[in-house]
């Protein structure tokens, strides 16, 4: 079915490289453990499940993946996608909710496995980078607002972003002062620390410090909510107890997670492969992420993804292979076996504050500004996606992102750049927009169409051709198409071209095609367009097409 290369993201590995990666793994663990604990606040799962996401999943990806740098673990985007949907099916963190989370993660693994079997890594290309920036920005806004209740010490029950804002506003007089002060202190310490000492594990120091302070000052006795007992030991393997009907209901949510994983993981692995001049097999990475999610599902964790933030942390720490992630997993196993006891004193507002800083980091103001400076249309696409996530939901937001990306692509293909070419005194060609009245030379129009011809844009080609011929200053005898940008013609477009060229032939206007690739020539012949044009009217070069039109002295070789 397909070949599997084990440890492609790990081997080769020398002694010096292993030592460097081991140190990077220790650094990564110190910086990321607080984050994965915080992600459980987004996922709506018990705190210990955050540690589970960086145990078996890390090992699974190291075994089957190809990227030496991608870190596959808990991720705020996918956590927000499924928690938004599953919280409507069962109470958060309840046994039923956890069973749904497990089955959702297993379904996501199954979709990823199918994607690997059918080599669907190319699907990542259907989520435009602009839409991804907008989506992650929207998730940042949504997650940040969702953390307000925990940071203020008030009970927020709404699942919608606007509902959460309204509940927080209503309960403003009931804000717990000490909880608020702790939250502000945590956020300030992490944000300032990231700016001043970006490689120092500030979140870990904050979490450890607040555990100690909570125990010493008995913050629980002062009304500050703490997370309570955290089960120790390695997770047990178990199959999610979910009915067939519930499994079917989970499929759309799993599909949304699948799309986000494909797009985000591929984009992240590509960035670091280019940076380190390495080759990456996207389909092998899909298999690795599928195995990672299967491991997460069977150990009581939740959906894992190729995390841009954690991958960046690993790269900053000096990680050069997946060995760093294996060391990270080993440290997490040690924490689970011996060090979960003190976590019971950790205030919930601390985790909310940690997640809030993550959410702030997801709001990509710089990226939005760059998009706005280069393309107003793509900026509006990103902005619409960002607004949709907190406005109508994460799952709907990602569907909108995909839909807008495809609509923008289709719109570009529907209204491609079209030009009339004019001879350049230096021997080349100048171009002007294909407006009525433009003519290359008396009796000749050289026309360039900037996209493949298909059912949606064929009429545009035909209408523009007629308008150029009818408005030309001199009678047109030859209409030459520069087909350098056309690689394919579908059935509907071919019928339109046949009708157009028959009409032009009756009006004594000759048509020829230049710069025709073999695949396009085959399409023109198969659909009968070549027969309508006549012998010799389809040429591989522009020079040859112009020679057919009696313009052999035209500049350029095509």
Query: By mean pLDDT, which of 37-51, 184-198, 284-298, 349-363 is the weakest?
Result: 349-363
The answer to whether the bond into 12 is cis (omega within 30° of 0) is: yes
Q: Count Cβ neighbours within 10 Å for each residue of 182-218 and write b for 16 or more, e otherwise.
A: bbebbbebbbebbeeeeeebbbbebbeebbeebeeee
CA distances from 483 to 65, 447, 455, 510 (A): 41, 9, 17, 16
Residue 379 near residue 371, CB atoms below 8 Å: yes
DSSP per-residue string spanning 198-250: TTS-HHHHHHHHHHHHHHHHTGGGGT--B------SPPPP------HHHHHHH
Give mean pLDDT, residues 286-308. Answer: 92
Give mean pLDDT, residues 10-15. Answer: 77
Give mean pLDDT, residues 439-449. Answer: 93
Residues with Cβ within 8 Å of residue 205, at least 6 apart in sequence = none
Give mean pLDDT, residues 57-84. Answer: 86
Angle at 281 (CA atoms; ends 277, 283), nearest 5 degrees: 155
Give mean pLDDT, residues 265-294. Answer: 79
For residue 491, the model assigns a pLDDT of 93
Residue 370 Cα to chain centre, angstroms: 18
Quick one: pLDDT band at residue 229, thresholds 50, 70, 90?
confident
Residue 552 has pLDDT above 50, yes or no: no
How many alpha carbons fall within 13 Å on the CB side of residue 177?
Answer: 1
Residue written as tokens 């492609």? 8
For residues 400 and 382, give the distance between their C-alpha atoms in angstroms, rounded to a whole number: 10
Quick one: pLDDT band at residue 465, thresholds 50, 70, 90?
very high
Residue 520 has pLDDT above 70, yes or no: yes
Residue 378 has pLDDT above 90, yes or no: no
Phi, psi of 448 (to 5 degrees): -115, 130
CA distances from 537 to 127, 352, 493 (A): 40, 69, 19
Give mean pLDDT, residues 419-445. Answer: 88
In the CATH hierarchy, which fold is given to the domain comprising 418-548?
A: Transcription Regulator spoIIAA (3.30.750)
For residue 271, the model assigns a pLDDT of 60
Residue 558 has pLDDT above 50, yes or no: no
User: What is the overall mean pLDDT for the chain?
Assistant: 85
Q: What is the pLDDT of residues 343-376, one digit of tens each?
A: 889 898 988 888 788 788 778 888 888 888 888 8
Residue 498 near residue 533, CB atoms below 8 Å: no
Q: What is the pLDDT of residues 475-507, one digit of tens each?
A: 999 999 999 999 999 999 999 999 999 999 999
Residue 400 has pLDDT above 60, yes or no: yes
For residues 500 and 492, give the distance between their C-alpha atoms in angstroms, rounded to a whole number: 13
Domain extent listing, the chain: 20-230+244-409, 418-548
């Amino acid at each position: 079915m397909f070949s599997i290369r084990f440890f492609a993201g790990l081997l080769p590995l020398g002694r010096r490289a292993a030592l460097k990666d081991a140190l990077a793994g220790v650094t990564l663990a110190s910086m990321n453990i607080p984050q994965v604990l915080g992600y459980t606040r987004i996922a709506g799962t018990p705190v210990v499940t955050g540690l589970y996401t960086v145990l078996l999943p890390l090992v699974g990806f190291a075994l089957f993946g190809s990227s030496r740098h991608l870190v596959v673990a808990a991720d705020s985007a996918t956590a927000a996608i499924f928690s938004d949907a599953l919280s409507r099916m069962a109470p958060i963190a309840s046994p039923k909710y956890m069973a749904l989370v497990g089955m959702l993660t297993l379904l996501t693994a199954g979709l990823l496995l199918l994607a690997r079997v059918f080599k669907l890594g190319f699907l990542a290309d259907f989520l435009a980078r602009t839409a991804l920036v907008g989506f992650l920005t929207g998730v940042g806004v949504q997650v940040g607002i969702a953390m307000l209740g925990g940071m203020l010490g008030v009970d927020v029950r709404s699942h919608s972003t606007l509902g959460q804002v309204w509940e927080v506003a209503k309960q403003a007089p009931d804000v717990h002062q000490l909880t608020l002060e702790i939250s502000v202190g945590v956020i300030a310490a992490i944000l300032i620390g990231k700016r001043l000492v970006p490689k120092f594990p500030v979140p870990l120091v904050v979490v450890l410090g607040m555990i100690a302070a909570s125990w010493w000052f008995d913050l629980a006795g002062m009304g500050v909510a703490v997370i309570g007992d955290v089960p120790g030991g390695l997770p047990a393997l178990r199959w999610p107890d979910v009915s067939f009907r519930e499994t079917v209901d989970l499929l759309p949510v799993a599909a949304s997670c699948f799309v986000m994983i494909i797009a985000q993981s591929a984009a992240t692995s590509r960035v670091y492969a280019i940076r380190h001049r390495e080759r990456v097999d996207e389909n092998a990475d899909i298999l690795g992420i599928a195995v990672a999610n299967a491991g997460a599902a069977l150990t009581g964790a939740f959906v894992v993804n190729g995390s841009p933030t954690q991958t960046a942390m690993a790269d900053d720490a000096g990680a050069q292979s997946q060995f760093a992630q294996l060391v990270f997993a080993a440290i997490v196993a040690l924490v689970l076996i011996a060090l979960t006891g003190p976590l019971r004193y950790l205030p919930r507002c601390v985790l909310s504050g940690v997640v809030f800083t993550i959410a702030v980091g997801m709001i990509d103001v710089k990226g939005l500004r760059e998009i706005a400076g280069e393309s107003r249309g793509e900026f509006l696409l990103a902005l619409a996606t960002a607004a949709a996530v907190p406005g109508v939901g994460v799952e709907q937001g990602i569907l909108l992102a995909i839909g807008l990306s495809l609509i923008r692509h289709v719109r570009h293909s529907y209204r491609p750049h079209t030009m009339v070419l004019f001879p350049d005194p230096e021997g080349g060609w100048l171009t002007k927009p294909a407006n009525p009245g433009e003519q290359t030379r008396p009796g000749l129009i050289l026309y360039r169409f900037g996209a493949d011809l298909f059912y949606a844009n064929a009429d545009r080609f035909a209408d523009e051709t007629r308008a150029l011929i009818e408005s030309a200053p001199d009678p047109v005898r030859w209409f030459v198409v520069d087909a350098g940008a056309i690689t394919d013609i579908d059935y509907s477009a071919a019928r339109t071209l046949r009708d157009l060229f028959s009409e032009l032939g009756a009006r004594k206007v000759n048509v020829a095609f230049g710069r025709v690739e073999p695949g396009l020539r085959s399409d023109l012949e198969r659909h009968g367009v070549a027969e309508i044009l006549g012998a010799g009217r389809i040429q591989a070069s522009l020079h040859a097409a112009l020679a057919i039109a009696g313009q052999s002295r035209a500049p350029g070789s095509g």
